[in-house]
Structure 1
Amino acid sequence: MFMQPEKDYLSAEEATELLGIKMQTLYAYVSRGMVRSFSGKGTRAKLYSREDVQRIRLRTMAQAGQVAVAASAMNLGPPIVPTSITEITPQGPSYRGQLATDLALKGATFEQVAELLWTGLWHETDLLWKASPITPRDKALLRSIPAEDARHQLIEILSLVAMQLAIGRGPLKDRLRSGRPLDAARGVVHGLIGCFGFLGEGGRYEEAKGGRSVSHSLLVAMSKPVSQEDRRLLDAVLVLLADHELSPGTFAARIAASAGTSVHSCIAAAIAASSGTEIAQRYEWLDEFQKSAKSTPALISKARKTLTSGQQLPGFNHPLYPAGDPRATVLMDLVRQRSSRPSPVKQVLALVDHLRMEYGMQPRHELAVVLACKSMGLPDGAPSALFVLARTAGWVAHILEQRLSNTMLRPRAKYSSKI
């Protein structure tokens, strides 16, 4: 379960004391979107994000030469890697100049967006990638994994599969010379899709077949009926999660690429970097949170207790989108438009509306993805696995871009006896 070691929100007095600033300066930070705040229930006093306050504090100390600059620069600080792939805008991520939200709303498929990120070209017609069959040896290995282990460690298994698919493809130097990284990338995507079979009724690896879209293959792997409504929502999830600039997984992929590793190794590194409590496991925490309350009032009460204790409520208030995460807005609108919504979905939608009105809190993409999966009846574990699969598109684009830079990413550390 996602745990926080200390209070996630500070009073105005605590924030100004920690930063050594006046109250007016704190208000200026809030107005510029540098520090998130929300109103506590039954009081006019506001609380302030400890994470944002601490980030400013570290940046100030770094500028004064007191700690390593990397301590702040690498935590939503100044850009450190030039890229022409994705720009973070107030309207959400923009892929090669096209807003992800616009692409999702017009019904773009995952394959179209992946090819856009990889090549910069937009294909108006739907794309169906050729099947990438795995070897009998690999299939036997994957089907030997116990279903229970796979369900609890699916993200780690996805990393294993990315590496396993490289076996038998020849020496690294030959693969780097072949100039076929996109074929390798499509093969990895198909291999990862098969892992969703561990979440299905059969509880085992299900190889993706040719002639099917990614969204179609995913629904089949998870033993779900294939409908146009579900395919559209699933593609929207994948499109909106395809890239988000320099996240930990993307940075790991670029570091691996800069060191001359294969596409498979880079993707495996990215998956491993995304598998922990701060990224993939957030989806699991949100699912557990929703299941812990049986009614909307109970869910609201639990959320209120979490907030009044000074703890952050995961799934809300993205630091890059003070006015609200546009990806969450699009997904939640699509969920609300569906022909039917299960009771748990209605409860969380009511919670979102309540927290927006009472505290001014805005939902993040993780919460919207969990809601989308619940509205489609997808099995537990699907949200985090879909995040990894979707982000593979962005990782591959960054791998290719990093290779072209011909520069090894090797940050320096500034030694300090006390940090």
Structure 2
Amino acid sequence: MSIDRDLIPASEACRVLGISPATLYAYVSRGLLESRPGRDHRSRVYRRQDVERLAQRKRLGRGPARGAAQSLDRGLPVLETRISLIRPDGPYYRGRSAVGMVRAGATLEDTARLLWDCGTQDPFADPAGDWPARVVSLANDAELPPLARAMAVIPLLALQVPHSFQADQGTRRALAATLLRQNAGLLVARRPSGPVHRLLADTWRPDDEGFAELVRAALVLCADHELNVSAFAARVVASTGAHLHATVCAGLSALAGPRHGGATTRVYKLLEDARQSRDVRRLIASRWRQGEDLPGFGHALYPEGDPRASELLAMLRTQPVPEQPMALLEEVIAAAESVAERRPNVDFMLGAICFAYGLPAAPALSIFAAGRLAGWLAHVLEQQALGRLIRPRASYTGLPPETDAEQE
């Protein structure tokens, strides 16, 4: 990446935005723009694409057009939900703090019952059962990537059950519970059984109670986060009347992207690079000055730090993990805060947990996918109950239509 091409000085940013230096600094303080150290470490530079994006928003004005454009990127709310609320101290699930639920010992199943508004119904009362014969070989194929294995098998599982769109809410919740456990089993190529956090933890580190507690906490904290990309994708598909299994596949597909759940893999790569580096702070500073992102650091909805990550980091610090990887994690965290004023988010902590325990990168994404499925299904059930199609409009910015004379 070229620093001259992708990072511009304050004078150029002011020219593009049509503002004074004082207004530019105000934009930075309000979080509308992000500045980075220049070559001489005294001046500040700005990402060209961020400046141009902000300039485009200014050109849209303050009317409905601007509101519509901003709604698709953590802007104005586009629909109502009773499922979760994001506050500075973390997400709340139907009024209950996710962090508080972790500290109270809640499991993913407890969280799902709350998110799905089950009342007195326990959709997990019946066992998940064995794999149907037609999917056994795929479901147990540990050579396949976890998300690919899940997305290959889940559509076939739909053939075994009635169409969920025509079922009552109780039946849908029971089907959702089966899907939650089946998805967890698919992510680790094992038959679904017992609490999800036990299934995952025993696959990767059998008989390690501290690790199992971390997995339990991570699943609860990842369970839902309002209209994130994967939840919105699942909800849009649900609005068409599609089967629960189809909506889950939509969520998994969205989660796989490197800007969403796939960020955990980029976090792991950053940690591996830091392990090979002789100067971690210099590595972080060099990347930041060149305009590169620091995967796993910062969150637009938590400018003061991601409380989910803080909770997991506090728990990890109490575990008897090897000293060297833990020291490296602390060094990376300190460098990111010192150089970029960025604190770790939940993506970083999922990768960090795996790194600290000597696991590969894949389990981090599997934990995310296993937990977030509870939230997807909550949004799907809510959307199905509404019975409305989600169909936004687009603002056309291409070539104008040809006239009859031009066609001739």
Q: TM-score with structure 1 length normalisation?
A: 0.85
**2:198 partner letter:** H
Q: Is the 8 A contact 2:102 2:221 kept in 1?
A: yes
- Answering whether residue 87 of structure 2 is matched by residue 89 of structure 1, we say yes
- Could you give the per-residue CA deviations for residues 70-104 of structure 1, whole angstroms, max 9, x where no partner exists? 54320122111111211111112121122222222
- Could you give the per-residue CA deviations for residues 130-183 of structure 1, whole angstroms, max 9, x where no partner exists? 4212444244241574x43x13xx223222233222112135665x35741111
**Aligned residue number for residue 352 of structure 1:** 333
Q: Is the 8 A contact 1:115 1:122 kept in 2?
A: no
Q: Is the 8 A contact 1:194 1:207 kept in 2?
A: yes
Secondary structure, aligned partner of 2:114: helix
Instruction: Decide which moves more: 231-240 or 300-309.
Output: 300-309
What is the deviation of 1:414? 2.0
Structure 2 unaligned regions, length at least 5: 401-408
What is the deviation of 1:226? 2.7
Q: Is the 8 A contact 1:85 1:398 kept in 2?
A: yes
1:179-194 matched pairs, under 5 angstroms? 179-194=170-185
Instruction: Decide which moves more: 250-259 or 40-49.
Output: 40-49
Question: How many Å separate the matches in 1 of 2:338 and 2:293?
Answer: 17
- Answering whether residue 363 of structure 2 is matched by residue 382 of structure 1, we say yes
Q: Which runs of 4+ in 1 moved over 6 A?
A: 3-8, 64-69
Q: Aligned to 2:100, which of 89, 99, 102?
A: 102
Q: Aligned to 1:132, which of 128, 132, 137?
A: 128
Q: Aligned to 2:318, which of 337, 340, 348?
A: 337
Question: How many Å separate the matches in 1 of 2:5 and 2:299?
Answer: 18
Q: Is the 8 A contact 2:337 2:343 kept in 1?
A: yes
Instruction: Decide which moves more: 46-55 or 101-110.
Output: 46-55
**2:149 partner letter:** I
What is the deviation of 1:374? 2.7
Secondary structure, aligned partner of 1:208: coil
**Aligned residue number for residue 285 of structure 1:** 266
Question: How many Å separate the matches in 1 of 2:4 and 2:148?
Answer: 28
Q: Is the 8 A contact 1:55 1:75 kept in 2?
A: no
Question: How many Å separate the matches in 1 of 2:225 and 2:131?
Answer: 33
Q: Aligned to 1:220, which of 175, 180, 202?
A: 202
Distance 1:306 1:357, change over 3 A: closer
Q: Is the 8 A contact 1:216 1:226 kept in 2?
A: no
Q: Is the 8 A contact 1:59 1:69 kept in 2?
A: no
Distance 1:5 1:414, change over 3 A: farther
Secondary structure, aligned partner of 2:116: helix
Distance 1:6 1:113, change over 3 A: farther
Question: How many Å separate the matches in 1 of 2:67 and 2:333?
Answer: 37
Instruction: Decide which moves more: 276-285 or 244-253.
Output: 276-285
**Aligned residue number for residue 202 of structure 1:** none
Secondary structure, aligned partner of 1:94: strand
Distance 1:46 1:5, change over 3 A: closer
What is the deviation of 1:317? 1.6
**2:136 partner letter:** A
Question: How many Å separate the matches in 1 of 2:293 and 2:31?
Answer: 18
Q: Is the 8 A contact 2:34 2:46 kept in 1?
A: yes
Distance 1:8 1:303, change over 3 A: farther
Question: How many Å separate the matches in 2 of 1:38 and 1:5?
Answer: 11
Distance 1:51 1:334, change over 3 A: farther
Secondary structure, aligned partner of 1:186: helix
**2:275 partner letter:** K
What is the deviation of 1:9? 5.7
**1:329 partner letter:** S
Question: How many Å separate the matches in 2 of 1:261 and 1:89?
Answer: 32
- Could you give the per-residue CA deviations for residues 181-207 of structure 1, whole angstroms, max 9, x where no partner exists? 11111111211222233xxxxxxx210
**Aligned residue number for residue 200 of structure 1:** none
What is the deviation of 1:250? 0.8
Structure 1 unaligned regions, length at least 5: 198-204
Question: How many Å separate the matches in 2 of 1:267 and 1:238?
Answer: 17
Root-mean-square deviation (CA, aligned residues, Å) is 3.2
**Aligned residue number for residue 318 of structure 1:** 299
Secondary structure, aligned partner of 2:92: strand
Instruction: Decide which moves more: 48-57 or 265-274.
Output: 48-57
Distance 1:311 1:168, change over 3 A: same
**1:166 partner letter:** A
Distance 1:52 1:327, change over 3 A: farther
**Aligned residue number for residue 405 of structure 1:** 386
**Aligned residue number for residue 216 of structure 2:** 235
1:4-403 matched pairs, under 5 angstroms? 10-39=8-37, 43-48=41-46, 53-63=51-61, 70-119=68-117, 130-143=126-139, 145=141, 147-148=142-143, 150-151=144-145, 154-171=146-163, 174=166, 176-177=167-168, 179-197=170-188, 205-209=189-193, 212-222=194-204, 224-294=205-275, 297-403=278-384
Identical amino acids, percent of aligned pairs: 31
- Could you give the per-residue CA deviations for residues 342-388 of structure 1, whole angstroms, max 9, x where no partner exists? 52232122111122134322112111111122334444301112111
Q: Is the 8 A contact 2:67 2:76 kept in 1?
A: no
Computing the radius of gyration from Cα coordinates, the structure with the larger value is 2
**1:180 partner letter:** T
**Aligned residue number for residue 406 of structure 2:** none
- Could you give the per-residue CA deviations for residues 272-300 of structure 1, whole angstroms, max 9, x where no partner exists? 12211211221111112222343564433
Q: Is the 8 A contact 1:316 1:364 kept in 2?
A: yes
